[in-house]
């Protein structure tokens, strides 16, 4: 397996990051995860645009342009002969001294890795349980995929202990925010609904793709705030993330969830888009 590390393609064993890298010490960095289909990273430009905005916010200067990273990603796919994979791009502030204050002269670390991809078919339905952990409702960091994800890790661990597949995150206002691993959608009165950004919600790339699909298909959408108890009245619920695409929810806090044909229609259109853009 080849790894991209700071401009070089090295073996997995040789891909070494210093122990004083601030990504390791403080979670001081960003990452993006995306699907590679037929050798082509899906919507990589959108992922890197979000990473660039995050880097600007964190005041990290990436050593490579988005175009250069796209080129390197293609080379990584080719070197590993993995035309269907999950690509992770990680950017940290790089090695630094102990202490929270960042060094203005730090040299950022960039890593790209490939991982085995799940099936392109729509995954079997997930069971969802409400997490006891709360995500800040007004958190500027929620706009980016920072490497500080301990809340999501603990929420997923809690869900696993309860025998569930995924955790529902509630924000500090008591409102539905997202799933631990992606954005949440629900169907209500034939509208495809999701939580607006600015309430602890990551503006997911697959979330944007679903809204794009709905517009193309003429399906009404609604970005609205909802309480967890009201979510039980949904005609369908699904989770979106870049690795799995669209994942239907079949149970919520131990109760069965209605299965709307709209979820299948959107999932079908998503798979058609993947095939079309990777042709």
Residue 236, SS3 per DSSP: strand
Q: How far apart are CA 222 and CA 269, in angstroms?
A: 19
Map out the domains of the chain as residue ranges. 2-116, 126-277
pLDDT value of residue 121: 79
Residue 207, SS3 per DSSP: helix
Global pTM? 0.94
pLDDT value of residue 114: 98
Mean pLDDT of successive 10-residue segments in the chain (279 residues)?
A: 97 95 96 97 97 97 97 98 97 94 89 93 89 93 94 97 97 96 96 94 96 97 95 96 96 96 96 94
pLDDT value of residue 198: 86
Pairing outcome for strands 126-135 and 166-171: parallel
pLDDT value of residue 122: 74
Please report, for residues 184, 221, 250, 257, 264, the alpha-carbon distance to residue 236 in angstroms, rounded to integers and kept in the order given: 11, 14, 8, 6, 10
CATH topology agreement for domains 2-116 and 126-277? no
pLDDT value of residue 37: 96
**CATH superfamily of the 126-277 domain:** D-amino Acid Aminotransferase, subunit A, domain 2 (3.20.10.10)
From the number of C-beta atoms within 10 Å of its C-beta (0-12, 13-18, 19+), residue 26 rates as middle
pLDDT value of residue 132: 97
pLDDT value of residue 59: 95
Q: Does domain 2-116 have CATH number 3.30.1330.10?
A: no
pLDDT value of residue 79: 97
Rounded to the nearest angstrom, the gap between the alpha carbon of residue 129 and the centroid of all alpha carbons in its chain is 19
pLDDT value of residue 214: 98
Of 8, 32, 24, 6, the C-alpha closest to 242 is 32
pLDDT value of residue 15: 95
């Amino acid at each position: 397996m080849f790894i991209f590390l700071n401009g070089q393609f090295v073996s997995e064993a040789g891909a070494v990051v210093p122990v004083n890298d601030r990504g390791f010490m403080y979670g001081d960095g960003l990452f993006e995860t995306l699907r590679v289909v037929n050798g082509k990273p899906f919507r990589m430009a959108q992922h890197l645009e979000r990473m660039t905005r995050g880097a600007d916010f964190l005041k990290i200067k990436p050593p490579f342009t988005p175009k250069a990273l796209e080129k390197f990603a293609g080379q990584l796919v080719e070197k590993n002969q993995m035309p269907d994979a999950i690509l992770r791009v990680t950017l940290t502030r790089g090695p630094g001294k102990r202490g929270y204050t960042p060094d203005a002269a730090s040299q950022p670390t960039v890593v790209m890795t490939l991982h085995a991809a799940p099936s392109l078919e729509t995954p079997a339905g997930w069971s969802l349980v409400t997490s006891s952990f709360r995500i800040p409702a007004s958190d500027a960091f929620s706009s980016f995929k920072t490497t500080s994800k301990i809340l999501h890790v603990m929420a997923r661990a809690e869900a696993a202990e309860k025998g569930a597949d995924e955790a529902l995150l509630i924000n500090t206002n008591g409102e539905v925010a997202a799933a631990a691993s992606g954005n949440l959608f629900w169907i209500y009165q034939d509208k495809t609904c999701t939580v607006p950004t600015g309430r602890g919600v990551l503006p997911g790339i697959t979330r944007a793709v679903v809204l794009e699909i709905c517009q193309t298909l003429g399906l009404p959408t609604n970005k609205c705030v909802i309480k967890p108890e009201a979510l039980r009245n949904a005609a369908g619920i699904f989770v979106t993330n870049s690795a799995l695409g669209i994942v239907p929810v079949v149970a919520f806090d131990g109760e069965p969830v209605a299965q709307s044909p709209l979820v299948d229609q959107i999932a079908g259109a998503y798979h058609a888009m993947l095939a079309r853009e990777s042709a």
